[in-house]
Amino acid sequence: MNDWEEYSAIEAAAAIPLSQQAMGVGNTSYLDGLNPAQLAAVETLDGPVLMLAGAGTGKTKALTTRIVHLLRTGRVRPNEILAVTFTNKAAREMKERVATHLGDAASGMRWMGTFHSLCVKILRRHAELVGLKSNFTILDTDDQIRLLKQLIRADNIDEKRWPARMLAGLIDHWKNRAWTPDQVSAGEDGFDGRGAKYYAQYQARLKTLNAADFGDLLLHVVTIFQNHPDVLEKYQHWFRYIMVDEYQDTNVAQYLGLRLLAQGHRNICCVGDDDQSIYGWRGAEVGNILRFEKDFDNATVIRLEQNYRSTPHILGAASGVIAGNADRLGKTLWTAREDGEKVRLINHRDGEEEARWMGDEIESYQRGTRGLDPYGLDSIAILVRASHQMRAFEDRFLTIGLPYRVIGGPRFYERMEIRDALAYFRVAVSADDALAFERIVNTPKRGIGEKAQQIINQVARNNDVSLFEGARIVARDGGISARARNALGALIEGFDRWRVALQDQDQSHVEVAQIILEESGYTDMWQKDKSPDAAGRLENLKELIKALEEFENLEGFLEHISLIMENDSQDDAQKVTIMTLHGAKGLEFPVVFLPGWEDGLFPSQRSMDESGQRGLEEERRLAYVGITRAEEICTISFTSSRRIFGQWQSAIPSRFVDEIPPKHVEILSAPGVYGGSIAQEPSAIEERVARADAYNSPGWKRMRARQEARTAKTRSAMKDVIDAKVVASFGLGDRVHHAKYGFGAVVGVEGDKLSIVFEGGGAKKVMASFITMADDVSS
């Protein structure tokens, strides 16, 4: 169907010829301003190159300059460079930066993009080699789950024991390692053989639907390269130079594909930082970058170690932490900058207090106190380990009216209303998109419930027609309730009408899209919805319609949208950024706050439980990423107790805190933190905690030891301990905690009852067994 020769001809024609003059051969001014390491990375063009680029060392600059250099020296045409990134954002940025040097030539770089988009491009050309048609649809995670659910249900298996999500994760895991179903069943599966079976069924089903999921995009391309040497060879010749960004994040499938492509000329340049590999949990293999020199003989390794971002103290702190990892290629970041503030460390009573303090702190930065220039809110970020930490900050900032922006969370195209709308468009464009049809057949509610849908499914299968045509038959012949039948008939009629409208030259696809959403009753559904977020959803739908304008037709839009799951709506107002550490990779801020450095939260307990030492090392890299985001001021904080899943947990400082070299740290004491409303004078405990003013001092060590011992005790048999000597353990003035009433101070002891004045207001008599010391676990 897609003859290679013809294709090559098209590609060649598309290449914008670069006349020597236009390219300015001989003019190498673009090399000015590179440091020696960057220059080496730019000028070492042939053979395998590993560019180890530490945080803030000008990686993107080196990478884009290298591309400019390749093109300017005239050794390659723009479309013969394969340049791969992980995100659309990175691809766009690179393209823009090349364009500032080369103008139009950058648009000739047709093979610069994300792994996924480039694989789609290749796969559309050779789809038949893996049993697909070139117009295959790309499933998102939602579709994937629904499909798997159907398979599990069809098997009459307990859906609880076999959650579709888990199976999806498993299949994803296999695809990340480029395992096809037969390779899985041949090996181990870990799920009594069922996983492999479902995997095979799932792949078969995808083939029938002429669809591929995200993992397939990579896997299929690797399969094609492996099974069709002739095809591989053409691409090996076509891509004369290969560049890979964020190499530490590649998974096995990506690695295999790259290695196959590079086998001939070996002109592959991988850029990355093993210390910033933080996506192991989704299939990234740090091993890929660690092994580079073994994979590619005679590789040139270039280290970018001069940091242009942070102060020496921040770099020192980060280096100290990351030094705790064993599996590293090793780099030593240095900076020409001098002085700067030490990394600041502070302890708080709980998460709310932490948020309160940071809010105040940010406001003082904003005003420019302590002799510093005022910082705009845009230059301040709070980076958390887990997104549930964000809530405390949002709450606090809302009450003090501090503008903030949360990065992350559900992306625009992942929102329910957007997916629903897209499903309508998908059915309108191609009637046999069964998954899309299933999604919207009863959205808004049309009275076409599960049972009716089953009947439609059955009729479609019996007549060997698409789901949509099956629905048409059901609507005509009946078999479901009259009400449902009418609704179904109306829906089908609607789609018939909309399809005609889409063909109509006089009607723009934007208009038709709007008509679809209105006539189907979808916008109506949200207008009638009285939930608080309905208005926002309607706004989103409007935005979606607006986005359509940039495309020729609906088809073009849908093709793009499946791969671009980003929403980068910009917002000019000055706001504090709140995001996860993962989301912050690649970004930088003058002022960075790193809250929640407590063992269990960060490093995450789960990470350590599931992946042991490897998990801990990844968490440590995350700490490294966090610290190195800061340009001037980095503040780390931890709390003494935190509410997790509604339960108060006492916390000990993260082990990473101890790993920061003391000479780079300044301990802050939080003013007013311990002066609770009741305790006019701080209790002995409070005083001791407050005075733990040097974490390398004996006081600090004592506090840690105490907390550790207490936690250990709690985890074993705290309950028994409390019951046994409950009364004896409380004295007048003790700061205590009750699960329902919160914190308070003991004002009286009578037998096994304690009189307590609670901070939340009021004195109460409570059984001692319901009380714990304030910085212990309470329940």
Interface residues with DNA (CB under 7 A) are 86-89, 114-117, 141, 159-160, 214, 281-282, 385-388, 408, 411, 414, 442, 445-453, 484, 563-566, 579-580, 582-583, 604, 606-607, 610, 643, 645-646, 740
Cα 404 from chain centre: 20
Beta carbon of residue 204, minimum distance to DNA (angstroms, whole number): 21
Q: What is the residue whose two structure tokens read 């210390």? A: 275
CA dihedral 73, 76, 78, 82 (to 10 degrees): -120
Q: Give the residue with the Cβ less far from DNA, 579 or 746.
A: 579
Q: Which of 59, 344, 396, 485 is catalytic?
A: 59
| 267 in Cβ contact with 241 (< 8 Å) | yes
What are the backbone dihedrals phi and psi of residue 113, each rounded to the nearest 5 degrees, phi first?
A: 175, -170
Question: Residue 55, annotated ligand binder?
Answer: yes
| 358 in Cβ contact with 364 (< 8 Å) | no
Residue 246 is a catalytic residue: yes
- Cα 48 from Cα 298, distance rounded (Å): 7
- Cα 324 from Cα 667, distance rounded (Å): 22
Question: Residue 56, annotated ligand binder?
Answer: yes
Q: Give the residue with the Cβ less far from DNA, 69 or 629.
A: 629
Residue 719 is a catalytic residue: no
| 522 in Cβ contact with 444 (< 8 Å) | yes
Q: In what order do the strands lie in the sheet with 576-580?
A: 404-406, 576-580, 380-384, 589-594, 630-639, 343-348, 665-668
Q: Give the residue with the Cβ less far from DNA, 236 or 520.
A: 520
Q: Which residues contact 221 (CB under 8 A, 6 or more apart)?
A: 119, 122, 123, 257
Question: Residue 399, annotated ligand binder?
Answer: no
Q: Give the residue with the Cβ less far from DNA, 92 or 259.
A: 92
Q: Which of 11, 28, 44, 60 is catalytic?
A: 60
Beta carbon of residue 448, minimum distance to DNA (angstroms, whole number): 5
What crossing angle do the helices spanning 450-463 and 467-477 adopt, rounded to 10°? 110
Question: Residue 59, annotated ligand binder?
Answer: yes
Q: Which of 80, 245, 249, 617 is catalytic?
A: 245
Q: Give the residue with the Cβ less far from DNA, 115 or 247.
A: 115
Q: Which of 140, 172, 246, 420 is catalytic?
A: 246
- Cα 306 from Cα 319, distance rounded (Å): 13
Closest to 91 in 3D by CA, of 58, 115, 122: 115
- Cα 367 from Cα 652, distance rounded (Å): 33
Beta carbon of residue 669, minimum distance to DNA (angstroms, whole number): 29
Residue 539 is a catalytic residue: no
Beta carbon of residue 63, minimum distance to DNA (angstroms, whole number): 17
Q: What is the DSSP letter of 306?
A: B
- Cα 778 from Cα 572, distance rounded (Å): 44
Cα 74 from chain centre: 38
**In this structure, what token pair is assigned to residue 44?**
């070492």
Q: Give the residue with the Cβ less far from DNA, 38 or 520.
A: 520
Question: Residue 60, annotated ligand binder?
Answer: yes
Q: Which of 276, 311, 628, 714 is catalytic?
A: 276
**In this structure, what token pair is assigned to residue 176?**
């990340």
Question: Residue 714, annotated ligand binder?
Answer: no
Beta carbon of residue 607, minimum distance to DNA (angstroms, whole number): 4
- Cα 425 from Cα 544, distance rounded (Å): 12
Q: Which residues contact 383 (CB under 8 A, 6 or more apart)?
A: 579, 580, 581, 584, 592, 593, 594, 626, 629
Beta carbon of residue 606, minimum distance to DNA (angstroms, whole number): 4
Q: Give the residue with the Cβ less far from DNA, 366 or 540.
A: 540
Beta carbon of residue 91, minimum distance to DNA (angstroms, whole number): 8
Q: Give the residue with the Cβ less far from DNA, 388 or 546.
A: 388
Question: Residue 58, annotated ligand binder?
Answer: yes
Beta carbon of residue 386, minimum distance to DNA (angstroms, whole number): 4
- Cα 511 from Cα 507, distance rounded (Å): 7
Give the annotated binding-site residues: 53-60
Residues within the annotated binding site for ATP? 53-60
Residues annotated as catalytic (active site), given as ranges: 59-60, 245-246, 276, 629
